[in-house]
Amino acid sequence: MSMPSTEARAVTPGTVLRGRGIVPGIVRAEALVSPETISGWGGIDPAQGTIIERRHALCGVCFTGKVLVFPGAKGSSGWSGFFQSTRLLGTAPAAMVFTTVTTKAVLGAVVTRVPTVSEFDRDPVQIIRTGDIVEVDGDAGTVTIVG
């Protein structure tokens, strides 16, 4: 069993991660951190706002209204269509924070129309914990751990 990094344990409220704003807007909500990439096509249920990929660590967990923190998108170009459906169905995450920029992830964030930040100075997946309250500022390109 691996221990969390020293940096991850040293995080306190007020910690700011600096990155690149992808979709503008500011939102404050509870974080849901995925240690794995997320598949849009067949990996999420847009009607329920849940991850349904069987082997995923968060299978069965709802992301609706949460700040989805994840390494990036995997799978086909259908990723963006599935996340756009979450917006249309009212089950979208409140914001997206991802480490790896791909056309799938960026287009998904754009069509979902939620504040999104990527390309960080530190890995948000290693620093933010599920349940943390975070503020995502897509205008400034920052994510602040509020509490």
39 flagged as catalytic: no
Token output for 62 = 């709802």
Catalytic residue among 5, 34, 39, 76: 76
Answer yes or no: are the C-beta atoms of 134 and 144 closer than 8 Å.
yes
CB neighbours of residue 72 within 10 Å: 19
Judge residue 131's burial from the number of C-beta atoms within 10 Å of its C-beta, 0-12 exposed, 13-18 middle, 19 or more buried: exposed
Q: List Cα–Cα distances, 66 to 42, 91, 94, 121, in angstroms.
A: 20, 10, 5, 22
Q: Look-up: residue for tokens 């400034």?
A: 140
CA distance 127 to 24: 22
Catalytic residue numbers read 76
